[in-house]
Chain A
Amino acid sequence: MSRFIRLYEKKRGDRRTGSKAFGNLGEALFFGFFFVIGCAAFAFMFWMLLWPEWRANRQFAETTATIEDRTLGVGAASGDSGPTYRPEFRIRYTIDGKTYTQDKVYAVTGIYSDDKQIAQATVDSFQVGQEYPCWYDPINPERVVLVRGYSGWLYLFLLIPLSFIVIGAGGLIYTLLRWNTSAERQAVLTQRAAKLDLFDLDRANREYPTVPADVNVTNSPGTTLAYRLPMVASTGWTLFAVALACVFWNGIIAIFVTMAIRSIARGEPDWFLVVFVTPFVAIGVSLVVYFVREVLVHTGVGPTRLEISAHPLAPGECYDAYLSQAGRLTMNSLEVWLACEEKATYRQGTDTRTETRQVYLERCFVREGFEIHQGLPFESRCQVRVPEQAMHSFRADHNEVRWKLVVKGSVAGWPDYSREFQIVVNPNDGHDQA
């Protein structure tokens, strides 16, 4: 067997340590288990619920029966739910001259319910000695019911086996498609599926594959230049996240601080608790300081606007950039930087980690020692030029090369701030450099 399915392979460059065939077998068994359980449960429900009810409603023939006895049937208790109940009748009816007597007759499914009152009310609604319509199975006249209809909400339970079937079948098909399929062929199949873009949103990517689309950049026209660049992170969300962390952390710490203060007030200080909670209080205070700093930066500095003359950028070309900084500020300095960074995402255990490294940084603009007055934003222009040989913007699932313009401000008496604006750089054609 080991010739065909190796349980373990040596570690290779693609970081695979397990046997591919064994992994596929495991996946197939996993999804197969789901599929079989789903099918079995569905078959059971079909046989016990769907099929009998359908036949009773569509194929059973109507006749008249006399009630000979009526009782409240009690089912076995299951778990903590207590006993279950159903109406049960003994009836007598005649088919083709032959008289039948059947006991424990009511609905075709014979399902018990935990609602005793409803079951009892149903029992009481039939009078012994009276005649009522009933429906019998023409194939087996001994099978008879006093009511027809469908069990409504019970059909919702079908979603459980159906979800098992869908998950199991989907996983099985996926596993079988990958079985003995090379990584390249799998990639081709995935790419073909990804190209089934109904709205043709990926048109730009066809000319420059893996270069991110610049839709978010070019959908906002500028007031001075062609495009107003969007900021990478919304200040509102940043503030909200910091505030949430601040409230959450300090809310929990407040409980322990209260306990420590009460112990001191009682004259029985719990020094262990005091020492234990001190570093957590320090972190809480740091969070508050950071939150206040962010509030100061975002509310006091005022909006930063950056516009560019064309987009996406091409290496070696010069572009005009327009900078606008609002607020009422005494600026030590205001700078615009062109930066490029690599971003890699990887898993370590159950964590997904991201690492970034900066590979290009150039200052495009600097202005030092000036005032910005309320209602009169600072405005200036500068030139942005991506180096001729620079790497283009690149985005894959786990790896990225991204370009951005960064506005850095140093304000007298305020914390420094930094705001980033994403840009896209296309590849250099490079035909003249071969």
Chain B
Amino acid sequence: MNSSPLRLQLDDPPAVYQPGNMLTGQFCLEGVTPADIRAVEVSVLWNTEGKGEQDMSVHYFERIEPQNGDPVDFRQPQRFRTVLPNSPLSYDGLIVKINWLVRVRVFLARGKEIVSEAPFWLGTVPRASEVAP
């Protein structure tokens, strides 16, 4: 049922990544004319979720743009790789959650965007539960 022309996948993702592990993956874009693609951004980032305002920080970022007017053929798989940092670890708390994910954002003509995300888990912190003060 996934009709997005953007395919993003991590290479043999383990159940859990550990700090210092190499994260690798690839993405490709099908059904879009190369000339319509203005730029593609690949990010490995964490963001928070929960009661508070969202915080976000980007660990790895790459922006791919046509070179000298020549469009990049994104139908061919584009690979990315990065060594994961020591922190923050993924966390499923009560009012603070920390999510790690790979996000690919494609900028098309006329301001349109296509976004695809691949979440993953960094570290082995168990789910939090509330304790009485």
Interfacial residues, chain A to chain B (CB-CB below 8 A): 3-4, 13-15, 21, 180, 182-185, 187-188, 191, 207-211, 342-347, 355, 357-361, 389-392, 394, 396-401, 426-431, 433-434
Query: Cα distance A344–B128 when bound, in Å?
Result: 15
Query: Cα distance A364–B63 when bound, in Å?
Result: 50
Least distance between A382 CB and chain B CB atoms (Å): 20
Query: Cα distance A351–B29 when bound, in Å?
Result: 44
Query: Cα distance A262–B130 when bound, in Å?
Result: 54
Beta-carbon contact of B41 and A391 below 8 Å:
no
Range class of the B interface residue count: 35 or more
List of 9 A-B pairs having minimum Cβ-Cβ separation, nearest first: A344-B52, A396-B55, A398-B53, A344-B51, A184-B43, A359-B128, A398-B52, A342-B96, A357-B94
Taking CB atoms, residues of chain A closer than 8 Å to B57 are 187, 191, 209-210, 396
A-B contact pairs, 7 of them (CB 8 A): A191-B58, A210-B57, A346-B52, A391-B91, A400-B96, A401-B96, A434-B14
Query: Cα distance A427–B88 when bound, in Å?
Result: 8
| Residue B23 at the chain A interface, CB threshold 8 Å | no
CB neighbors of A among B69-127 (8 A): 85-89, 91, 93-96, 98, 103, 105, 107, 110-111, 113, 123-126
Taking CB atoms, residues of chain B closer than 8 Å to A360 are 128, 131
Least distance between B125 CB and chain A CB atoms (Å): 5
| Residue B20 at the chain A interface, CB threshold 8 Å | yes
Residue of B nearest to A207 (CB): B86
Least distance between B124 CB and chain A CB atoms (Å): 5
Beta-carbon contact of A427 and B89 below 8 Å:
yes
Least distance between A141 CB and chain B CB atoms (Å): 60
Taking CB atoms, residues of chain B closer than 8 Å to A434 are 14, 16, 18, 124
Query: Cα distance A363–B74 when bound, in Å?
Result: 57
Taking CB atoms, residues of chain B closer than 8 Å to A361 are 131-133
Beta-carbon contact of A430 and B43 below 8 Å:
no
Beta-carbon contact of A392 and B89 below 8 Å:
yes
Taking CB atoms, residues of chain B closer than 8 Å to A343 are 52, 96
Beta-carbon contact of A187 and B56 below 8 Å:
yes
Q: Given A182-B41, A210-B57, A396-B48, answer yes or no on A429-B133 (Cβ-Cβ < 8 Å).
A: no
Interface centre among A345, A361, A399 (most CB of B within 10 A): A399
Interfacial residues, chain B to chain A (CB-CB below 8 A): 14, 16, 18-20, 41, 43, 45, 48-58, 61, 63, 85-89, 91, 93-96, 98, 103, 105, 107, 110-111, 113, 123-126, 128-133
Residue of B50, B51, B88, B110 touching A209 (CB-CB under 8 A) = B88
Taking CB atoms, residues of chain B closer than 8 Å to A185 are 41, 61, 63
Taking CB atoms, residues of chain A closer than 8 Å to B45 are 184, 187
Q: Given A399-B96, A400-B96, answer yes or no on A3-B19 (Cβ-Cβ < 8 Å).
A: no
Taking CB atoms, residues of chain A closer than 8 Å to B133 are 358, 361
Residue of A208, A392, A399, A429 touching B50 (CB-CB under 8 A) = A399
Residue of A nearest to B98 (CB): A394
Least distance between B23 CB and chain A CB atoms (Å): 13
Beta-carbon contact of B55 and A398 below 8 Å:
yes
Contacts A342-B96, A358-B132 supplied; 5 other A-B pairs, CB < 8 Å: A4-B110, A346-B52, A357-B130, A396-B55, A399-B53
Query: Cα distance A346–B133 when bound, in Å?
Result: 22
Taking CB atoms, residues of chain A closer than 8 Å to B132 are 358, 361
Beta-carbon contact of B16 and A391 below 8 Å:
no
Residue of A nearest to B90 (CB): A391
Beta-carbon contact of B61 and A401 below 8 Å:
no
Q: Given A208-B87, A342-B128, answer yes or no on A188-B61 (Cβ-Cβ < 8 Å).
A: yes
Beta-carbon contact of A209 and B128 below 8 Å:
no
Beta-carbon contact of A398 and B131 below 8 Å:
no
Beta-carbon contact of A430 and B61 below 8 Å:
no
Beta-carbon contact of B87 and A209 below 8 Å:
yes
Taking CB atoms, residues of chain B closer than 8 Å to A345 are 52-53
Beta-carbon contact of A344 and B87 below 8 Å:
no
Residue of A nearest to B129 (CB): A359
Beta-carbon contact of A427 and B110 below 8 Å:
no
Q: Given A389-B124, A399-B48, answer yes or no on A359-B89 (Cβ-Cβ < 8 Å).
A: no
Residue of B nearest to A359 (CB): B128
Taking CB atoms, residues of chain A closer than 8 Å to B113 are 182
Query: Cα distance A182–B43 when bound, in Å?
Result: 11
Query: Cα distance A355–B130 when bound, in Å?
Result: 13
Query: Cα distance A335–B36 when bound, in Å?
Result: 67
Least distance between B84 CB and chain A CB atoms (Å): 11
Query: Cα distance A360–B129 when bound, in Å?
Result: 8
Residue of B nearest to A4 (CB): B111
Taking CB atoms, residues of chain B closer than 8 Å to A183 are 56
Q: Given A183-B56, A184-B41, answer yes or no on A21-B51 (Cβ-Cβ < 8 Å).
A: no
Residue of B nearest to A390 (CB): B125
Least distance between B40 CB and chain A CB atoms (Å): 11
Q: Given A359-B128, A394-B98, A399-B50, answer yes or no on A428-B123 (Cβ-Cβ < 8 Å).
A: yes
Beta-carbon contact of B53 and A430 below 8 Å:
no
Beta-carbon contact of B51 and A355 below 8 Å:
yes
Beta-carbon contact of A431 and B93 below 8 Å:
no
Query: Cα distance A355–B51 when bound, in Å?
Result: 8
